A and B are shown apart, each in its own frame.
Chain A
């Protein structure tokens, strides 16, 4: 019975803190609150984008769609005369098949890494994308051409190459937890946590960093730039949370992960939605999701008339603020 004791000893503190596991997420939240027929709205980025435009939710401007091999030549009409753009597979995931172009002269294109490539390379990329190289199960796909997101250079020390994004878990329209994902050298410029990106927990009340993890273990500073992560503060925070909360009205999914980015000129923008958001956000914030979800669930009976996104954000910011800052403790010991 030793083994059972150890299991008890390990799982009780997690349960006490309300940490949610995958089984519970799948059964009690995704199965219960996310209807299957709404999945295409978030699994297909083009659908999400068109829907967002209808609901007046800010997203990087859609410059055009390339649907077939015959349309690849239309890239010249679609691409902006000046400045950058991004090519994305509509049904891609995990950063696959995304080509970010910083600038171009019509013949040569500069990638985010600074490397210059020929137009033929871009056209081949489009052809692969349309054939389904990057989509789930290899089904044919369409290419989305959207405006380049310009990340505020003031924050460039927090990330390596890629544009960092902010993940907000929205439950029944209430933002319940948030983190920022910073790409690193080991994550290859991608903001995917399992590839080695950093997850920074964010206080819902202030938008300040609370703690950070890489590979599920705490870190203090960005490994490539040396920037202390505790100094991270998201500007325009309230506005960003409201944008995330209004995604619920648009997608209809009760349990939702909204990925947003901060544009230097246009402010918070919706990048994509996720019907099965991961659980690493709990590690980045150092606390469990369940107490917050339970609080929102209990709320439902009390307020039958639906508050709007701004009201929901105000409520959530009051309930879910993180007063203590975990960064201070370890920093003091160094």
Chain B
């Protein structure tokens, strides 16, 4: 009569088999990746690869089209390993002069066009490639009177703390980046940072020129190309970015925090389009690390499993997956904390989304801004409560308030020179609004104590999930060994059938322990 006996026994053993299958398949694929594809167990920093993808977009005007894109070459710090283009229907030629170009041509172009160029660089910490290109002439420099003393003072102070052209250039770049340096502010009121630095270097008799390059930051999409300064010293050169707001990022090669890649070295345009309008070129970049033996050719092998894998996608899509593939880890931590510890959170998976936002900023700014936004949101929500609105309208109103708050905090932190405040927009606004709504209902019904308990639980879970997802080893493993995803799934299934006590229950049921 009742269906209860029917599904009493079977699921348990079925579940066991599914878990065993997932574990075996996950381990097998992980071993396969290691032994057959040659992916190292540990991220090997000495064999870092950068995949950089240029995406050219424009609207063809209906006639012949000629697209000329400057291409990068091997350079100190980076060795060009392979390059590909994707340009269906176009004729393609390479122009290998002092500056390399790709020439795409088409007889008759119509509508919006999309061209891709993709290059893979190996990071070469030894900088084995000798210099390329001759140092440019030194131009005579004439300063207008008000700038003259400022320039002289800048040069003198940079000269004091340097010993060679590169350290001199670094000192100059640091001064130009420093918002409190009066002399630098004066120069920059009339000149661009790159132009100012070039003039200063030329005045001090150093060879330098303006070039175009990229700041290499892992997982960035749709980045523009930037003006940089190339400084020569005898047979060598390095790149400097006087306009960067991150002062440590001034040299090329792997010793800098944010490496700079030289893309175009004549100071000319990076992209020229004839027969099209609204043209633009943007760059995506992705850092992977592989052993030197696994060259790009083996990765592109016609292996059925591999060509179906994420690693065969365009870089822009791959970098989305780099974050996406971390999510199961966050989910695992939520399940573990719920089932094994019994931590109370507000909204089951809200902490994972918060943790994802933390990944984009630093954990400390993340926690502080979260508390600020939710705290201020609770106060605003209190006012809304008095208006006696329907739930959907109330939550929508809270969303508007949260967006307003985040904008306000961003503007404030910008003017207070707290750069990480600008990253607040990474917070999932809708989730924040729901959190505020739920917290304030909780406050009304159960009192502030319960709000603190759940708020603490949520932040605790978010922080732990962040800590796991932020480990560079974890990122490497989850992205390069997709078999681990199956193992994580198996662990989640195991936790889902765990019937033991939660840690919090050991405390809760403590009175039952001692009597008799």
Binding site for B on A (CB under 8 A): 7, 10-11, 13-15, 17, 19, 21-24, 27-28, 32-33, 35, 94, 96, 128, 131-132, 137-138, 194-195, 213, 216-218, 252, 254, 282-283, 286-288, 300, 326
Name the A residues within 8 Å of B512 (CB-CB).
13-14, 17, 19, 282-283, 286-288
A252 touches B499 (CB 8 A): no
| CB of B508 closer than 8 Å to a CB of A | yes
- Interface size bracket, B side: 20 to 34
B445 touches A21 (CB 8 A): no
A22 touches B391 (CB 8 A): no
- Tell me the chain B residues, 238-286 only, with Cβ under 8 Å from chain A: none
What are 28 A-B contacts defined by CB distance under 8 Å?
A7-B506, A10-B510, A10-B513, A13-B512, A13-B513, A14-B512, A14-B513, A15-B501, A19-B501, A22-B342, A23-B339, A24-B500, A27-B497, A32-B7, A32-B8, A33-B4, A128-B388, A132-B391, A137-B391, A138-B390, A138-B392, A213-B511, A252-B2, A254-B2, A254-B4, A287-B512, A288-B512, A326-B515
Known: A14-B506, A254-B2. A286 touches B501 (CB 8 A): no
Known: A10-B506, A14-B501. A138 touches B511 (CB 8 A): no
Name the A residues within 8 Å of B143 (CB-CB).
none
Measured in the bound complex, the distance between the Cα atoms of B498 and A11 in whole Å is 15
Name the B residues within 8 Å of A7 (CB-CB).
503, 506
Top 4 A-B pairs ranked by shortest CB distance?
A: A138-B391, A24-B499, A21-B501, A10-B506
Shortest B96–chain A CB gap in Å is 65
Known: A94-B445, A138-B390. A21 touches B502 (CB 8 A): yes
Q: Annotate B437-452 by CB proximity to A: 1 below 8 A, 0 otherwise.
A: 0000000011000000
| CB of B505 closer than 8 Å to a CB of A | yes
Binding site for A on B (CB under 8 A): 2-5, 7-8, 339, 342, 388, 390-392, 445-446, 497-503, 505-506, 508-513, 515
B4 touches A286 (CB 8 A): no
Shortest B499–chain A CB gap in Å is 4
Name the A residues within 8 Å of B499 (CB-CB).
21, 23-24, 27-28
Most chain B beta-carbon neighbours within 10 Å: one of A22, A96, A195, A283:
A22
A11 touches B506 (CB 8 A): yes
Name the B residues within 8 Å of A300 (CB-CB).
5
Most chain A beta-carbon neighbours within 10 Å: one of B8, B499, B502, B503:
B499
B509 touches A14 (CB 8 A): yes
Measured in the bound complex, the distance between the Cα atoms of B510 and A218 in whole Å is 11
Name the B residues within 8 Å of A326 (CB-CB).
515
Seed contacts A14-B505, A138-B391, A216-B508; 10 additional CB < 8 Å A-B pairs: A7-B503, A11-B500, A22-B502, A28-B499, A128-B388, A138-B390, A252-B2, A283-B511, A286-B515, A300-B5
B4 touches A195 (CB 8 A): no
Shortest A15–chain B CB gap in Å is 8
Shortest B77–chain A CB gap in Å is 48
Name the A residues within 8 Å of B508 (CB-CB).
216, 283
Shortest A141–chain B CB gap in Å is 12
Closest to B1 in A: A306
Shortest A308–chain B CB gap in Å is 14
Most chain B beta-carbon neighbours within 10 Å: one of A14, A128, A252:
A14
Closest to A254 in B: B4
